[in-house]
Amino acid sequence: MSASNTTTFIYGSELQGRGEPTVADILIGSFMFVVSLAAVLLGSFNLYLIRKMDIFHNAFGWFWASRTVAEIFCNFSHVVYSAPVTIMQPTNVPMVFGITVAMIGYICGIGACVLHQIVSLNRCIAVSLPFDYKRIFSPKNVKMAIFGSWIFVPFLTSFLLVVPCSMIGYSPKFYQYSYIACSSEPERDHSIVATVLNRACLALCCTTVSTDLFTLYNIIKFKRNITMIMAATMIVVANNNTQVGGVLVHLLGFSTLQITHVNNALALILFNPEVKKFLRGVSVSPESQIVQSTSRNGRTNQ
């Protein structure tokens, strides 16, 4: 995304720390660690609920679980790498680490974005076309949709490595995935591939909100989609911004996405009545599960 200005060109310098961490580095890194760890733990609990509760053994549960796995991997990379290097600001970090974390972040982040749209579509069809729901979201179609998503997204993100001068990596100085300049006088100061992917994800988030307009009575879910748009918008705004004044923009774009993942995980726990009953030790009847699995997919499961 953004390259640092240096008098002597050192390839990959964008991925190195400043040497001595500032108070801001420590605070931001600590915040990143706490939020990412919360997202990992809450996401793992979501997977536990989906595994244990029969009401989620359907299309909605598969889509939600797949998206949750993507969010867990994305945030786990921040727990083990992004947050620690932000706090410590080391200057001898192997480039492969920063690049690997960025690739994981992009693959899982965009994958979660795609699956978020599929979950929204699943809910919309459950409400609008209840009699066609089982046919549209048959086990075969669900598996094909999930498999197709996880083939298509890595294929798209692979262009970050294939297209010349498009590579990115996590920068502890800018608190974001930054563009790695390939020469001392590059033709551009950003990754074209990353720019396209960021804006495509923003467009997809907007489409998700449009889909949710069909289920506006679910106010809580609609607000969560708004946070995804905020995250994607901030990332797009931060793209190419290398000025000191843009640090806040970088931070907002990065942290808003993490908070969105926490929000997604909390939604299943706090706003689903069957989950509340499960946590209180109250069993859900099979009849209720059959009815709820189709109707509530369009209301409270999200």
| Residue 294 confidence (pLDDT) | 43
Could you list the pLDDT tens digit for every one of the 302 residues in the chain? 444 444 677 888 889 999 899 999 999 999 999 999 999 999 999 999 999 998 889 999 999 999 999 999 999 999 999 999 999 999 999 999 999 999 999 999 999 989 988 988 888 787 777 788 889 999 999 999 999 999 999 999 999 999 988 999 999 998 889 989 887 776 777 888 998 998 888 888 778 777 776 656 544 454 555 555 555 444 444 444 444 444 555 566 566 777 777 877 887 887 778 888 888 875 554 434 433 444 444 444 44
Q: Which CATH superfamily is domain 13-230 in?
A: Rhodopsin 7-helix transmembrane proteins (1.20.1070.10)
The DSSP output letter for 171 is E
The answer to whether 237 touches 198, Cβ cutoff 8 Å, is no
From 72, 134, 141, 117, select the one nearest 302 (Cα to Cα). 117
Q: Which residues touch 178 (CB under 8 Å, ≥6 apart)? A: 1, 2, 3, 4, 14, 15, 168, 169, 170, 171
| Residue 285 confidence (pLDDT) | 45
Q: Report CA torsion sign: 266, 269, 272, 276.
A: negative
The DSSP output letter for 300 is T
| Residue 62 confidence (pLDDT) | 95
pTM of the predicted protein model? 0.77
Reading the block at residue 197, the tokens are: 């992917």
**CA dist., res. 29 & res. 65, Å (int):** 28
Q: Report CA torsion sign: 104, 63, 197, 6.
A: negative
**CA dist., res. 125 & res. 118, Å (int):** 10
Helices (H), the chain: 23-52, 59-77, 83-88, 95-128, 133-136, 139-157, 159-162, 192-212, 219-238, 247-270, 273-279, 286-295
**CA dist., res. 238 & res. 241, Å (int):** 5
